[in-house]
């Protein structure tokens, strides 16, 4: 029997290695897999590169991973959000690398990695400082930048419901980056509010099909 | 001379120019106020880059749902006909040219339409771009809402930008506190300016070379508390 | 009030021009927007390039467009299906151009067109006859082909339900290429079994959001 | 000598090698028969490129639904836990390396793993590739089911392919009517051959150079009507 259910966030992240590339879903607090991030932070994993849209808020989740010194590099579009004081301190002290990527380019680079596309061209950021060092190529009279795929070792995502095969559904705007990150890593770990019986999720409405998910853990969220 | 528009009035004036049926993305900051200033009888589909089409401003007393927020991470609600999707699909909409309008803030707009809105010079804080660069090239029309001048009086509509760019030649219209200005193939054309202001006064407060439209009108907005 | 509903298939396709690139959803008969194709065929539109997975079956839908001489070029992965006699005759007589594209490359090229990506790299078809004339480039020690985006002038798709904003849902495996083609054209025309009131489709389960669809027509399908 | 396996027996033998929990795509033709030959107590997630995970073979008497078909356009049904998605997502799964196995048919398999399965030489009919090229490079393991020899006796497992390629160096295991053969870094290794056949006889019927595994076993399958 296929059973991807894990008993705890600790168990689910127990073998994440130092130096991993970790994709993390969420947009600000909404959809951030906070309990999985906390479990990683408690393990004091080191030298992670994390790919996520923001830099965490407050002292839980991504913010806690930063505070615990787990993160060597942050790839994101917008590290400045209210409450992201930890990141700013590390950044000003030169203790963390930052790669700023336009929000849609993060999503597209991760999707490309998920789709076996090593590189693609996009207009976004052409002619701006974020184009520095990137190949420029003309198609049909317009110039585009070449962007490389991002592939994660691990993805941490948050869903509303999940089943033992790994199917996930979300709710409202907590969906955001979660299904994208879920496709983008060798090992995808999902925290959900509720584990449901196999077959309970309608095949028409599953957003992240089982194939992308390796582990599912039901957590009691702090801010449920 | 009429008072310059406040932020809500600028948002109201911008909302006024967005026709029924448009799909519109609103940047963080003043542009998000367009959501509240859209006439109730006008059906507009608002896109939020975090995976929403059909969002709507909360009415006073509406419950706030932390799982239903806009790109500024503030709570919203949904119109009938709205839909949720993930970030890759959301930015496919943005980058594939599917949005009719985006409304963005600006530090500088150049007379060729160059936009700078993400990074101030000599900033010690970490850079942050969000979805601005995606939107600048993605939407069919890029509208900008910004004060006409910075607090130190320097113009935001300039001959040539000095700040790090968000996108080149992308801005189509600018709504400021004192004027509405189109970027056209022939340069910057003033469509509206506040009552009592002369064209010379407006030009003095502007870095770019302006031209006054033959059919220019006074810039007006209802009283709105900002 | 936004109202994308059209009264008939004829009205929905009335302004499709000769020479257009037309993307058509479906996989074999399943999900093929047959009544829209028939309406185009009756108009005897000419010189179309159609992009679709198969070459139609029988004498309705895509098969009828071929029989009526509407199609100058077929871009597809698999023109040989039972009942696709019309295509074979045209092909053997040299009366139609054929571009064979791997099935996933069709989907990815159309999605790229929808996403503002003019070109991307893929491993599929590398080292095969379908790589001829395509740029080869190495990333991380492996060679890939460059593929160009496909963008349609018109897309014809089939849904189960649609509303006046243009939101669509499908059922089971009729979904197939339909949501992909729906994203990929300047003008997307959807035939649905049922037009529903705005708000009746749950925002969590809409597969093709309104932004991609321009016209919706309720048809009485022949094989309902 | 034992009878060569029929098509259902080849599919059964292949199904036997796919472990529980795998995600598997089946090519059109004999490979699709693997769907029917999978042990009931083994949970395998079957992918169909037309947008299905979790499909299942119809049981006798099950209703046929024209809107629920596999890649061969034949009706199927769903297992609990299945999901529907569109073609771009479906081939993202294929091309992004998310499938554990694909099972394909073959005209030729070369000893370096090159696969030709889509185009016969001098064919007057239109070419047709479907999803074979996507699958050949996409799945982690590419299994092939094919007769050991063509009707004219020529081998399908060859030194070097002569037909148009589907993919290079992609095949990992071949199930024929008389043998199971692995493609390894050291060449083609025979894991099983039917009882009573000698290695020399098998080699005579094969274009590629074979090596017999030390722990080779007889190739066996239950009676199945083809």
pLDDT in tens, B23-36: 999 998 899 999 99
Averaged pLDDT for residues A166-179: 98
3-state helix, strand, coil in chain A (%, to 5): 25, 30, 45
Work out the minimum CA distance from A176 to partner chain C, whole angstroms.
12
| Maximum pairwise Cα distance, chain C | 55
Report which of D113, D219, D119, D190 is spatially closest to residue D158, judged by C-alpha positions: D113
pLDDT value of residue B209 = 98
Whether residue A224 is predicted with pLDDT greater than 60 in this model: the reply is no
Averaged pLDDT for residues C26-53: 97
Q: Which of B56, B77, B79, B87 to mutate to test the interface with A (most CBs of A within 10 A)?
A: B87
Whether residue D126 is predicted with pLDDT greater than 60 in this model: the reply is yes
C80 and chain A in contact, CB less than 8 A: no
The answer to whether the CB of B191 falls within 8 A of the CB of B182 is yes
Averaged pLDDT for residues C120-137: 98
CATH number (3.30.56.10, 3.40.1080.10, 3.30.450.20, 3.90.226.10) of B7-33+97-219 reads 3.40.1080.10
Q: Is the dihedral of CA D170, D175, D179, D182 positive or negative?
A: positive
Record: contact D95-C177, CB cut-off 8 A: no
Whether residue D124 is predicted with pLDDT greater than 90 in this model: the reply is no
The answer to whether the CB of D144 falls within 8 A of the CB of D170 is no
Closest-CA residue of B relative to A122 is B95
Report which of C2, C10, C51, C1 is spatially closest to residue C189, judged by C-alpha positions: C10
The whole-angstrom separation of Cα A209 and Cα D141 is 21
User: Which chains reach chain C with 3 or more Cβ–Cβ distances below 8 angstroms?
Assistant: A, B, D
Strand, coil or helix: what is C217?
A: strand
Is D220 among the residues known to form the active site?
A: no
Task: Supply the mean pLDDT for chain A.
Answer: 96
Work out the minimum CA distance from B185 to partner chain A, whole angstroms.
18
The answer to whether the CB of A5 falls within 8 A of the CB of A216 is yes
Question: Could you tell me how many helices (H) and strands (E) chain B has, helices first?
Answer: 5, 13
The whole-angstrom separation of Cα D136 and Cα D157 is 17
Distances, alpha carbon A143 to alpha carbons A4, A16, B166, in Å: 45, 40, 16
Record: contact B126-A111, CB cut-off 8 A: no
pLDDT value of residue A59 = 82
Task: Supply the mean pLDDT for chain C.
Answer: 96
Beta-sheet pairing, B52-56 with B45-48? antiparallel
- High-pLDDT (> 70) share of chain A, %: 98
User: Which chains reach chain B with 3 or more Cβ–Cβ distances below 8 angstroms?
Assistant: A, C
At C155, list the tokens: 């897309």
Record: contact D84-C88, CB cut-off 8 A: no
The whole-angstrom separation of Cα B111 and Cα C93 is 58
Burial A75-88 (b: 16+ CB within 10 A, else e): bbbbbbbeebbbbb
- Treating both helix axes as pointing N-terminal to C-terminal, what angle do B87-95 and A103-114 enclose, rounded to 10 degrees? 120
At D98, list the tokens: 């998310």
With a threshold of 0.90, tell me whether the complex ipTM lies above it: yes
pLDDT value of residue A192 = 98
The domain ranges of chain D are 7-33+97-219
Q: Which of A79, A100, A107 to mutate to test the interface with B (most CBs of B within 10 A)?
A: A107
Tens-place pLDDT, residues B66-100: 999 999 999 999 999 999 999 999 999 999 999 99
DSSP H or E segment with residue C190 = strand C185-195
Confidence grade of residue C73 (pLDDT, cut at 50, 70, 90): very high
Confidence grade of residue C80 (pLDDT, cut at 50, 70, 90): confident
Beta-sheet pairing, B101-104 with B23-26? parallel
pLDDT value of residue A221 = 58
Whether residue C220 is predicted with pLDDT greater than 80 in this model: the reply is no
Work out the minimum CA distance from D179 to partner chain A, whole angstroms.
30
Distant-in-sequence, close-in-space partners of B143: CB < 8 Å, separation ≥ 6: B14, B17, B18, B101, B102, B103, B104, B171, B172, B173, B174, B175
Phi, psi of A92 (to 5 degrees): -65, -30
Question: E-assigned strands of B134-209?
Answer: 141-145, 157-158, 171-175, 179-184, 187-194
Distant-in-sequence, close-in-space partners of D78: CB < 8 Å, separation ≥ 6: A203, D52, D54, D55, D56, D68
At C176, list the tokens: 């197939």
At B155, list the tokens: 């113009």
The answer to whether the CB of B91 falls within 8 A of the CB of A108 is yes
Q: Is the dihedral of CA D86, D91, D92, D98 positive or negative?
A: positive
Q: What is the four-CA torsion angle of A8, A14, A15, A20, rounded to 10 degrees?
A: 100
**Can you list the domains of chain A with their CATH numbers?**
15-100+151-218 (3.40.1080.10)
pLDDT value of residue C221 = 58
The answer to whether the CB of C178 falls within 8 A of the CB of C167 is no
Q: What is the four-CA torsion angle of C39, C43, C46, C49, rounded to 10 degrees?
A: -10
Q: Which residue has the higher pLDDT, A64 or A83?
A: A64
**pTM (2 decimals)?**
0.98
- High-pLDDT (> 70) share of chain B, %: 99
Work out the minimum CA distance from C209 to partner chain B, whole angstroms.
6
At B88, list the tokens: 């890759």
Burial D10-37 (b: 16+ CB within 10 A, else e): bbbbbbbebeeebbbbbbbbbbbbbbeb
Residues of C in contact with A108 (CB under 8 A): 115, 117
The answer to whether the CB of C136 falls within 8 A of the CB of C144 is yes
Listed by number, the residues of chain A in 52-81 with a beta carbon closer than 8 Å to a beta carbon of chain B are 53, 55, 77-81
Residues of chain B that touch chain C, judged by Cβ-Cβ distance less than 8 Å: 20-21, 23, 43, 45, 47, 53-54, 78, 80-85, 89, 91-93, 95-99, 137-138
Of A122, A169, A171, which is closest to C116 when you measure between CB atoms?
Answer: A122
Strand, coil or helix: what is D100?
A: coil
The whole-angstrom separation of Cα A138 and Cα D111 is 42
Averaged pLDDT for residues C76-103: 92
Whether residue A83 is predicted with pLDDT greater than 90 in this model: the reply is no
């Amino acid at each position: 029997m296929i059973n991807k259910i894990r008993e705890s966030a600790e168990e689910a992240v127990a073998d994440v290695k130092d130096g991993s590339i970790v994709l993390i879903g969420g947009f600000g607090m909404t959809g951030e897999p906070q309990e999985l991030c906390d479990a990683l932070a408690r393990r004091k994993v080191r030298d992670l590169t994390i790919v996520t849209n923001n830099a965490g808020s407050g002292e839980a989740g991504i913010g806690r991973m930063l505070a615990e010194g787990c993160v060597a590099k942050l790839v994101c579009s917008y590290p400045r959000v209210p409450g992201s004081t930890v990141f700013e301190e590390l950044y000003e002290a030169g203790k963390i690398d930052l790669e700023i990527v336009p929000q849609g380019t993060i999503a597209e680079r991760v999707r490309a990695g998920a789709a076996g596309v090593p590189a693609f061209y996009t207009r976004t950021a052409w002619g701006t400082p974020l184009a520095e060092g990137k190949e420029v190529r003309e198609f049909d009279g317009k110039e585009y930048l070449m962007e490389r795929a991002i592939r994660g070792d691990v993805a941490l995502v948050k869903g509303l419901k999940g089943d033992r095969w790994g199917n996930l559904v979300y709710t409202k705007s907590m969906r955001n980056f979660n299904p994208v990150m879920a496709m983008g890593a060798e090992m995808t770990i999902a925290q959900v509010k509720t584990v449901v019986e196999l077959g309970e999720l309608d095949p028409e409405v599953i957003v992240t099909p089982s194939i992308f998910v390796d582990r599912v853990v039901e957590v009691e969220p702090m801010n449920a | 001379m009429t008072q310059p528009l406040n932020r809500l009035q600028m948002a109201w004036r911008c909302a006024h120019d967005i026709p029924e049926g448009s799909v519109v993305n609103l940047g963080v900051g003043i542009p998000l106020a367009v959501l509240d200033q859209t006439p109730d009888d006008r059906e507009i589909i608002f896109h939020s880059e975090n995976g929403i089409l059909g969002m709507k401003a909360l009415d006073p007393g509406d419950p706030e749902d932390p799982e239903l927020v806009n790109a500024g991470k503030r709570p919203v609600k949904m119109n009938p006909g709205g839909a949720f999707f993930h970030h890759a699909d959301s930015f496919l909409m943005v980058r594939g040219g599917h949005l009719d309008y985006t409304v963005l803030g600006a530090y500088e707009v150049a007379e060729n339409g160059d936009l700078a809105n993400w990074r101030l010079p000599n900033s010690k804080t970490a850079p942050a771009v969000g979805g601005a660069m995606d939107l600048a090239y993605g939407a069919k029309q890029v509208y900008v809402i910004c004060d006409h001048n910075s607090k130190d009086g320097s113009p935001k509509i300039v001959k040539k930008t000095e700040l790090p760019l968000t996108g080149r030649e992308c801005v189509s219209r600018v709504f400021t506190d004192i004027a509405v200005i189109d970027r056209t193939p022939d340069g910057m054309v003033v469509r509206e300016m506040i009552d009592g202001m002369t064209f010379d006064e407006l030009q003095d407060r502007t870095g770019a070379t302006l031209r006054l439209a033959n059919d220019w009108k006074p810039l007006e907005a209802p009283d709105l508390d900002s």
